[in-house]
Chain A
Amino acid sequence: MVDDQLSLVFGALADPTRRAILTRLAEGEATVAELAAPFSMSQPAISRHLKVLEHAGLISRSRRATARLSHLEAEPLREVATWLARYQRFWDESHERLDDLLAALQASPDNSPGSGQAATQEGNDT
């Protein structure tokens, strides 16, 4: 996914009404009237939200007789999920290692390297 599209997806997800619409569409396709029903919002207002979601690639739309149906497009959401999951994994694993290290240091304090004084720490400079 290009960064611009990622921004569009994030922008679309920033609104609680649009997130609620996506949650509803996860159960199946729906008309504008059906999507508007749970909100105290006009159908044109819902239509504007649907346009933003469509532009971000999060939904597609089709016609059945006179009604326009919206469908959830899961792939961009999956890519956003992957985007964050990767970063999450980096920190989850780092922090698990830190947990282990902290436990080891507490078990044998004499064994811990370093002075702990940041101001005098010279690092590994070569």
Chain B
Amino acid sequence: MSKTQITAEPGIPQIIIARGFGAPRDLVYRAHVDPELLVQWLGPRDLTMTIDHYDARNGGIWRYRHQDAEGNQYGFHGVFHGDPSPNAIVQTFEFEGAPGHVCLQTVTFAEHGDATLMRTVMAFQSVEDRDAMVASDMERGTRDSGDRLDELLAKLAVG
């Protein structure tokens, strides 16, 4: 129902991802904590997702892998902090290709009439970690050589 907004401001080790969905809050929440649902949407279609663990409760661990067409695997794992609820899902997130670089991810769901606004805040240990994560993310980049400059500068605009 709306385009995904990603904010990555210069100098701040954080990424904010916001998106509205035309579905009730509890359902959007469930799509995040039920592994049978999560596996159906997380990641682009050309990656195959495998969930090894997904224990969505306080202290529960999670691990999943994305595999591309060439067979390259990208593993991710972390721990849930506090029992997840539609108010917040708090978890650590670590890309296994860069061990020790851990990100804290908080997902919240706000009801707006028939729609739900999902907001994810990813807090990294440093700006360098943040930039490296985005740069390495799935390394299957589209080479948009088209002029995304205006769009980018608008995103980078502070305040």
Contacts and interface: CB of A to CB of B under 8 A. Distances in A.
Interface of A: 3, 6-7, 10-11, 13-14, 16, 19, 22-23, 26, 74, 77-78, 80-95, 97-103, 105-106, 112-116, 118-119, 121-126
A69 B42 CA distance: 48
Contacts of A122: 55
Given A7-B127, A113-B34, A121 B54 contact: yes
5 contacts: A11-B11, A77-B152, A80-B152, A90-B44, A114-B30
A120 B52 CA distance: 17
B34 A102 contact: no
A10 B155 contact: no
A85 B56 contact: no
Contact of B157 (A19, A22, A77, A92): A19
A86 B138 contact: yes
A3 B34 contact: no
A3 to B, nearest CB: 6
Name the interface size band of chain B.
Answer: 35 or more
B69 interface: no
A123 B62 contact: yes
Contact of A16 (B21, B28, B152, B157): B157
B8 A85 contact: no
A123 B35 contact: yes
Interface centre among A91, A114, A122 (most CB of B within 10 A): A91
Contact of B144 (A77, A85, A99, A125): A85
A124 B40 contact: no
Contacts of B56: 118-119, 121, 123
A65 B57 CA distance: 70
Given A10-B11, A124-B51, A94 B43 contact: yes
Contacts of A105: 23, 27, 31, 37
A102 B28 contact: yes
A83 B131 CA distance: 8
Contact of B55 (A14, A98, A121): A121
A114 B37 contact: yes
Nearest to B11: A14
A11 B128 contact: no
A82 B54 contact: no
A123 B21 contact: no
Contacts of A7: 127-128, 131
B153 A19 contact: yes
A97 B144 contact: no
